[in-house]
Amino acid sequence: MAVLRHRMARAGCLLALTAVSPLPGAATPLCRWVDNNGRTQLAQTVPERYKAVATCTDSARYDIPAAQLRAAQQRADDERQRAARVAAPPLAASSPASAPAGAPAATAASAPVPKRPAQAVTELTDCATSWRLYDESLACFGPFQTVHGAIKAEAYDVCNVVASPEPRCGRRRE
């Protein structure tokens, strides 16, 4: 518990220092020392009685060069734009002008997603096809499986459950 309080106090000190720290680019010393109570202190100025034991670091050596900062900002902007393009729904295949009057325009987001496998297994389905559809179903559900083996609920929106054909067809023949 004492370790947790110490860590929280240290985090609080760092938070306080960042809240009052000057703008980036203005180098300031950051000093660290242990007081009479055994607590680690961080500040920009050191009380006289602790100056002999305090260690100070010039923050200028941790500043990021302006060119590197601009390059990082550009990469972040590019990544945001790429994410926006991926998240944006694609344009509908048909233009709104070709849609019948009064009908809402179909978008990719509103179009139903076909479930996989698209074909259903019936009593008339041969064993080879049953095994293929079963494998397709497993492949569809695979990405929705958690590390503990459960299946996420959204899997059932895109995948059809195909029961194992083993009881009807016997063991799989390669």
- 172: which 2 tokens? 């799989």
Cβ atoms of 113 and 160 closer than 8 Å:
no
Q: Please state whether the peptide bond connecting residue 117 to the residue before it is cis, i.e. omega within 30 degrees of 0.
A: yes
Q: What residue ranges do the domains of the chain occupy?
A: 2-62, 127-169
Tokens at 69, concatenated: 């900062």
pLDDT digits (tens, 9 = 90+) for 28-59: 888 999 999 999 999 999 999 999 999 998 87
Beta strands in the chain (DSSP E): 29-34, 40-43, 55-58
How far apart, in Å, are the Cα atoms of 162 and each of 104, 133, 157?
A: 35, 7, 14
Rg of the chain taking only CA atoms, in angstroms: 31
Each residue of 59-118: pLDDT tens digit?
777 788 889 989 999 999 998 888 877 776 655 544 445 455 555 555 555 566 678 888
Give tens-digit pLDDT for 161-170: 999 999 988 8
Question: With 0-12 CB in 10 A as exposed, 13-18 as middle and 19+ as buried, what is 54?
Answer: middle
pLDDT at 95: 47
Structure tokens at 150: 């459960």
**Residue showing tokens 């259903």:** 120
Q: Using the 8-state DSSP alphabet, how is residue 122 labeled?
A: -
34, β-bridge pairs: 40
